Structure 1
Amino acid sequence: MTKPIRRAGVIGAGVMGSGIAAHLANAGIEVLLLDIVPPNLTDAEKKDPAARSRFAAGGLEKALKARPAAFFHPSNARLVRTGNTEDHFAELAQCDLVIEAIIEKMEPKRALFARLEEVLRPDAVVASNTSGLRIEEMMQGRSADFRKRFLVMHFFNPVRYMKLLELVVGPDTDPAVVARVRKLGEDVLGKGLVFGKDTPNFVGNRIGTHAMLTAIHLMIEDGLAPEDVDAITGIAMAHPKSASFRTGDIVGLDTFAHVADNCYSALERDEDRDVFKVPAYIRKMIEAKLLGDKTKGGFYRKAKEGLETLDPAKLEYRPHGGDEAIKKATRSCEKIEDPAARVKKLASDPGKAGQFAWKVLSRSLAYTARRVGEIADSIVAIDDAMRWGYNWELGPFQTWDALGFAETVERMQKDGIQLPESILRMKQSGATSFYRADGAVFDLLKGEYVARPVDPRNVTLAGARAAARGAKAVLANDGAEAWDLGDGVLGVTFKTKANSLDPDSIGMLSLAAEKAEQDFRALVVFNQGEHFCVGANLFLVAMAAGNKDWDAIRKMVKAYQDATQRLKYASVPVVAAPYGMTLGGGLELCFACDAVQAAAETYAGLVEVGVGLIPGGAGTLNMLWRALEGIPEGVTVPTYDIVTQVFKNIALAKVATSADEAKALGFFRKTDGVSFDRARQLYEVKARAIGLAEAGYHAPVPRAYKLPGESGIATLQMMIDTLVAGGHASEHDAKIARKLAEVLCGGAGGGAREVTEDEILELEREAFVSLCGEPKSAERMQYMLMNNKPLRN
């Protein structure tokens, strides 16, 4: 049972099944995706293999077209073979794991498991992706051996993006099987695992559905509108922007009602059973096919006049609005960066927003506390489920701590809210919070603090600094810091908004390289926040351009070129850890490093043309050199084709939608690492840097390459003219593209020749400065600063 899972079968090619298959393929696992043979085939179709496997093939096709994308890169779909459950069922015998994702009805699942027992190997694991059916009932009629290999693997949709994987084991499940699946989930798929109990809707959906329906029922009682509820239960409450009603539209009201109905029918003894009763007006919406985004209308819909909201009383759409006092209160909360402080301010607001928030929170938190021991034994598991499965910034018990444990208990008791004895005993013990600063967490079942289990790979920046006795930064300025991360690794972290590049953060890169060479064996760039780096501080560039201070712009560009080249040729290995948006100068920073340990969800690209410029931090140089570096010495290759592809990547501002796609586009090397779980990225980037250092690292030597010169520029010019003539590019797009072509081809004034790095850097620098002087580039910069989207002028 320690055998790794290399081949998997997925039965059911709907949204969940195809999503699971896609993510298994993302992780390099071969997948056999099966679905039923379509009913009512013609006689000819019954003999046609393609027609018989149409459902599975269609599921794969939808996964390839899905937005957001299900696959890291379309080529990953080659690992998925499709078939049907009649002609290809026996092939499941080759699988190490089979996941069932068929219709949520008991009898079809039981019938499927009976068939699987006949064909699977004795060591194959069987899992159900059910969202709440009981293992005990699904396993009726199965042998003891089959029961040992069975468990629930409940993925959340969309599978690639949602971190939560709920594991539910039966009374007969072999611990070795659990360990094998745990290794797959955590180490291979990058999921956050939560062990739930065999109860309806498990952990995430039980608590999440209760919280959403609590808000929905209270809306009617308090006379609020859907916009008001979403304003309160969204960002202000440390929940996603989609909040309650918008989440319903995204998930689909039919799906949401199915989950709620499953709870209502199964939870006969639940004291809050009536909360799971779907309101009559939502039933009418489902009957009218107002299901949300998939039917272009649910609680909200887009109209020619703008966004509209459904009036629950009239079941008619009206212009989107909302209570102004609630808007003012929630917007004030949203400005607070710390989620704990944000939710505390919301709940203490004396107006309608705070009163409604308290009602929702107090009932939801108390209900969650009453479920400890029933749906999961650990409050950590419940908090993780809500953060990873519902994208809450704080889990229920973390939220309780934010509001103040004792104060919240007293306020709940005053309001007559039922609390479990475990909470009352906890308060009597003198405990002041569920989570303590020393890492201990209160165990409600034991009535005492216990050590919180920690994966040593889930290293935070603060934890790494503390472990290295880093009470103080090694280097610091207003834009960045460099800290001792232990094991001879120096770590640079930006402090600017969205980790943008400014003179201070740029200066820190050179200082850190020098310090690392003196006192450390490796350097890593590891940022915090939503995005790794959104590029240069555009305001500084636009301001200097507005003042026609060309020397200042030239010095700014030269400084970043020097910094990236300094990293590139440092005598110690330098590794970057990009994630989220890694744009413009952020990607140029990655180009400068010896290696990258990217989060799987990294969105990288050189997007400077969108603001009327070209890359100015050695981006054109290093992206081109990256593309050329694989050519063996002595091999004569026309570099024009390579130059053209780099030109397209930059001129079209291509942005990779994953680390894998970034590799395919040449933004990262094929050998660069990918962290499926961002919580482990610091651990992994540090390990990569140490590995390079211990493998006898030596800095690279500058190289020169033969570039096309004037002939390449002329050919690219024809491509540009064709795009303009076809209306696909403006005249200003063409002007930017011509300057880019000159840089990438090694400059005008001669034929193909060998070009040095310094020559390319000078061409890049002068092209950047000259474009800053173009009025239409100034318009693009101003528009981006004001509207946060590009202007095509």
Structure 2
Amino acid sequence: MRKEIRRAAVLGAGVMGSGIAAHLANAGIPVLMLDIVPPKFTDDDAKMGLTETDPRFRNKFALGGLDGIKKSKPAALYSKRFLPLIEVGNFEDDWAKLAECDWIVEVVVERLDIKQKVFARLEEVRKPGAIVSSNTSGLSIKGMTEGRSDDFNKHFLVTHFFNPVRYMKLLELVAGEETSSEILDFFTSFGRFRLGKGIVFGKDTPNFVGNRIGVYGIVSTLRHMMEMDYQVDEVDAITGPAMGHPGSATFGTSDLVGIDVMAHVINTIAEGCPDDEELDLFTVPDFVKAMIADGALGRKTKDKGGFTGIRKNPDGSKTTLVIDWKIGERREKTSYKYPSLGKAKKTHDVRKRIKDLVEADDRAGAFAWALLRDTLAYTSRRVGEISDTLVDIDNALKWGFNWALGPFETWDALGVATALERMKAAGVEPAPWVDEMLAAGHESFYIESAEGRQIYDPTTKAYVKEPKPDSFMVLLQIKMDEKKIVFGNQSASLVDIGDGIACIEFHSTLQPKLNPVDEYITEVMTKGVEIAERDFRGLVIHHQGENFCAGANLLMILEAVQANQWALLDEMIQVFQGLTTGLRKASVPVITAPFGFTFGGGCEITMGGDRVCAAAESYIGLVEVGVGVIPAGGGCLFMLERVLEGVDEPILSQIPFIRIAFENIGMAKVATSGEEARDRKFLRPFDKVEVNRDQQLWTAKRMAMAMADEGYQPPLPKTYNLPGKEGLATLEMMLFNMKLTHWSSSYDEKVATHLGRILTGGDTTINEPVSEQAILDLEREAFLSLCGEPMTQDRIKYMLVNNKPLRN
């Protein structure tokens, strides 16, 4: 019988418990979130009109978790539509409801005795075959399940999520000695394809995989900082993006997680790993103990801060402070300008960036090498203890700590033999299997090929194929067969991805993180559609970089304006409009597959396809007003198409529908998930949201194949009955009120008036159908007019310099 999880329960409504409950709701699974009944009825409870039997009192902690979900920033839910899927209750009144659940995950306090009691109670009501898991970060499975039945243990495993649950890709699965292989296989598939997680298999050791190496990195950083005489802000300048790590770096991340939590996981390893060869390193430094004693725990203690903090000045400005670990007092943050860090900021290729940094002859290079050297060696010694595969360890650090490269991928980037020689010269010894690998003539941990990636296996002393589902298509590997690259340039390529489907891939060399639309992307898209119509049966627009497309190339637009090249700018707009609207005019189906930042022109490309396959973590919006212009690549047309769907005849007032488009564009609203993009009409009801980005290309390809198999025909052109000047007058009244209440500036009003004229159809009436081309012409006219305005030019310049909008 096919196993399903139709209803789940979360035991514990704290930060992690509520996060897991929210993400189960994101997956469309009804979830019961329980917590304990408050131990004491307080005067405050009485003042609120509660009684000890009132569900609002008895469910107080669970309701607090639900309130946290509602208020969470960034949002824990993909859409508020999913909130009704979460039911709350308490451990006493609602325990029997657990018998209805197919999966029950425990997220109570990290104490073995409490978890044992919870599981003993749970076995009394759990139905046979229901999966039970713990979100523990270090307690042993054997200890937690002592005394439980065979069926309970057979269906028990650790499901270790990372916080925030929605956004952190990592899910560590740890099976016990009695866990059924069928249950582990089922949950692996469920975690990947229903929850969208990256699965790492760990062993039943303290802190499992990610935290074991990640925490070593923290304690090693602390030791090197003190021994080499560095400061907190100096270290964070080195251990952030320059080393392929998040911008919060070491101490900013610790502040985010909580310094008390950091100390706890350090102590967990110290207590649970007595045979670790670097056991003495897992000690919380005295200055950190003093911070915890003083209540300086990081971001959650705003007044006292943590390693870093904010001081509000009398003039309203803010000053960033950092702890001086030598004296235990805070001082103003210093900016460190080492040559290697300056070079790192200009280096897009993370492999080259890290290699250049650790080879640099300055303080940043010295610290980076010492830290990386010790971390790589320590990680090599953990293979077999915490995980059997190098790729699981690498993925744990990438998915759980947002490293750009895992430890072994980083070592490959440095050159395994070269780095090993430097390590040994410093008296650092990695695991013996690394020497054996090199001695056998194997020069790297990974080998990339068109057939897939291979990983060195220290047990068999040979390379094995990376285990991954067939649906996880990798463009980099596909393109290793050069015959698959049909056409391309420095910013984009047309790639044959098999089964008669081609993919237009963006890969800007100048701005690879954002992939703004430039003449090279335009060239490949134009040529790509032409080739697809001739040689393929479907087309996908997708790539596997950091962000889909953050809009137009603003610098190119500004340069054209400053050079008075209005005819060129007009031509560029017409070409781009023809490109986005032409996607649906092609004789083959076009599926757009966005993810990450999908702004402006990227949003217009997305909406121009026949169908959209958006990643769950897609941030989609028409944000052009932020730089003083309006969407001119079909964005206004596509929004009208969506909000007026089904309104095929003139009606008394279309303003309520048009207002949705007007607010989306005029207020630069950005959907913060694929599902919210559906709520805001950027996606349509029949568009797909894919929860696992690794599977997105495969899903989009199948969508194109299905449309082709059905006998694709391009949609017919549409006309729209729009209210013209009468409708614009209504929008202008709304704009006047916004300016009066200081929601917008006079120039915002001017930009939005241009937008209103487009969305209401220009010089028309409700009974005169407006063509798609007429709306495109209005877009182009407004865009060019606004580009000629000095205040728009100021907004564009400010955005280019400061990467944020100017309100003028």
TM-score, normalised to structure 2, is 0.95
- In the alignment, the residues of structure 1 paired with residue 228 and residue 335 of structure 2 have an alpha-carbon distance, to the nearest angstrom, of 14
Deviation at 1:471, TM superposition (A): 2.8
Do 2:596 and 2:619's aligned partners in 1 also have CA atoms closer than 8 Å?
yes
Alignment of 1:593-632 (within 5 A): 593-631=609-647
Structure 2 partner of 1:450: 464
Is 2:686 aligned against 1:686?
no
Q: Partner of 1:9 in structure 2?
A: 9
Alpha carbons of structure 1 residues 106 and 479: separation in structure 2 relative to 1, 3 Å: closer
Q: What's 2:374 paired with?
A: 363
Is the partner of 1:317 in helix, strand or coil?
Answer: strand
Quick check: 1:780 aligned with 2:792?
Answer: no
1:186 and 2:199 equivalent?
Answer: no
In the TM superposition, residue 247 of structure 1 has moved relative to its aligned partner by 1.2
Q: Distance in 2 between matches of 1:67 and 1:215?
A: 29
Given candidates 301, 321, 325, the residue that maps to 2:334 is 321
Question: In structure 2, how many angstroms separate the alpha carbons of the residues matched to 1:503 and 1:322?
Answer: 37
Q: 1:40–1:652: structure 2 CA closer, same or farther, 3 Å change rule?
A: same
Matches within 5 A, 1:266-665: 266-296=272-302, 297-303=305-311, 304=313, 306-321=319-334, 323-324=336-337, 327-438=338-449, 439-466=453-480, 469-471=481-483, 473-496=485-508, 497=511, 498-631=514-647, 636=651, 638-665=653-680
5+ residue gaps, structure 1: none
Deviation for aligned residue 1:302: 1.6
Maintained 8 Å contact 2:532/2:539: yes
Q: Deviations over 1:246-279 (max 9, x none)?
A: 1111111011111111111111121111111110
Structure 1 pair 434–148 and aligned structure 2 pair: CA distance change class (3 A): same
Aligned partners of 2:370 and 2:781: how far apart in 1? 61
Which residue of 2 is the match for residue 96 of structure 1? 102
- 2:224 — aligned with what? 218
Q: Using a 3 Å threshold, how does the CA distance of structure 1 residues 349 and 543 change in structure 2: closer, same or farther?
A: closer
Q: Is the 8 A contact 2:627 2:799 kept in 1?
A: yes
Q: Report the secondary structure of 2:28's partner residue.
A: coil
Q: How does 1:125-204 map to 2 (within 5 A)?
A: 125-204=131-210
8 Å CA contact retained: 1:709, 1:752: no
Identity %: 46
What is the distance in 2 between the residues matched to 1:295 and 1:140?
38
Contact 2:116/2:144 (CA < 8 Å) preserved in 1?
Answer: yes
Q: Deviations over 1:400-430 (max 9, x none)?
A: 2222222222332232223333233223323
Does structure 2 conserve the Cα–Cα contact (< 8 Å) formed by 1:509 and 1:567?
A: no
Output the CA distance in 2 between the equivalents of 1:662 and 1:614.
19
- Counterpart of 1:6 in structure 2: which amino acid? R
Alpha-carbon separation, structure 1, partners of 2:543 and 2:516: 11
Over 3 Å counting, the alpha-carbon distance change for 1:481 and 1:408 in structure 2 is closer
Indicate if the aligned counterparts of 2:649 and 2:721 stay in contact, CA closer than 8 A: no
CA distance in 1, matches of 2:418, 2:562: 54
Shift of 1:137: 0.6
The structural deviation recorded for 1:124 is 0.5
SS at match of 1:206: helix
Task: Indicate the larger mover: 27-36 or 550-559.
Answer: 550-559
Amino acid at match of 1:729: S
**Distance 1:391-1:25 versus aligned 2 partners, 3 A rule:** same
Q: How far does residue 758 in structure 1 lie from its aligned partner after superposition?
A: 1.6
Query: SS of 1:154's equivalent?
Result: strand
Q: Secondary structure at the match of 2:495?
A: strand
1:748 matched residue in structure 2: 763
Specify the alignment match of 1:117 in structure 2: 123
RMSD over aligned Cα, in angstroms?
Answer: 1.7
**Counterpart of 2:299 in structure 1: which amino acid?**
D
Q: 2:214 corresponds to which residue?
A: 208
Partner of 1:5: helix, strand, or coil?
Answer: coil
Deviates more, 1:192-201 or 1:540-549: 540-549
What's the CA shift for 1:729?
Answer: 1.0
**Separation of aligned partners in 1, 2:29 and 2:372:** 42
* TM superposition shift of 1:744: 0.7
Q: Which residue of 1 aligns with 2:83?
A: 77
Change (3 A) 1:377 1:722: same
- Alignment check: 8 A CA contact 1:37 1:84 kept: yes
- Does the Cα contact within 8 Å between 2:202 and 2:209 map onto a contact in 1? yes
SS at match of 2:309: strand
SS of equivalent to 2:521: helix
From the superposition, tell whether residues 767 and 460 of structure 1 become closer, same or farther in structure 2 (CA, over 3 Å): same
> Match for 2:668: what amino acid?
A
1:355 offset after TM fit, Å? 2.3
My pick for the range that moved more, 160-169 or 775-784, is 775-784
Q: Unpaired segments of 5 or more residues in structure 2?
A: none
SS in 2 for 1:499: coil
Query: Retained in 1: the 8 A contact 2:448–2:477?
Result: no
Shift of 1:603: 0.6
Alignment CA distance shift 1:582-1:49 (3 Å): same
In the superposition, relative to structure 1, how do residues 564 and 420 fare at CA in structure 2: closer, same or farther (>3 Å)? closer
Shift of 1:382: 0.8
Amino acid at match of 2:712: Y
Q: Which deviates the most, 545-554 or 305-314?
A: 545-554
Pairs aligned (count): 788
Assess, with a 3 A threshold, how the Cα gap between structure 1 residues 360 and 75 changes in structure 2: closer, same or farther.
Answer: same
Measured in 1, the distance between the counterparts of 2:223 and 2:166 equals 32
CA 1:502 to 1:335, structure 2 compared with 1: closer, same or farther past 3 Å? closer
Identify the range of structure 1 (295-304 vs 40-49) with the bigger mean alpha-carbon deviation: 40-49
Shift in Å at residue 780 of structure 1? 1.1
The answer on 1:738 being equivalent to 2:753 is yes
Q: 1:788 to 1:636 in 2, by over 3 A?
A: same
Residue 751 of structure 1 deviates from its aligned partner by 4.9
CA distance in 2, matches of 1:343, 1:506: 33
- Contact kept, 8 Å, 1:470 with 1:484, in 2: the verdict is no
Which among 244, 254, 257 is matched to residue 251 of structure 1?
257
* Separation in structure 1 between the aligned mates of residue 473 and residue 115 of structure 2, nearest angstrom: 41
Question: In the alignment, which residue of structure 2 is the partner of 1:241?
Answer: 247
Take 2:238 and 2:431, find their aligned partners in 1: how far apart are those partners? Answer: 27
8 Å CA contact 1:711–1:752 kept in 2: the answer is no
TM-score, normalised by the number of residues in structure 1: 0.97
Q: Once the two structures are superposed, what CA deviation does each residue of 1:568-608 show, in whole Å capped at 9, x if it has no partner?
A: 21111011111111111111111110011111111110111
Distance in 2 between residues matched to 1:452 and 1:750, nearest whole Å: 62
Amino acid at match of 2:295: K
Secondary structure, aligned partner of 1:282: helix
CA distance in structure 1 between the aligned counterparts of 2:539 and 2:730, rounded to whole angstroms: 41
Deviation larger for 301-310 or 762-771: 301-310
Aligned AA (1:387): K
1:66 equivalent in alignment to 2:72:
yes
Deviation (angstroms), 1:452 = 2.4
421-430 or 151-160, which moves further after superposition? 421-430
Change in CA separation of 1:427 and 1:559 when aligned onto 2, cut-off 3 Å: closer
Please give the secondary structure, in 2, of the residue aligned with 1:127: strand
* Counterparts of 1:635 and 1:147, CA distance in 2: 65
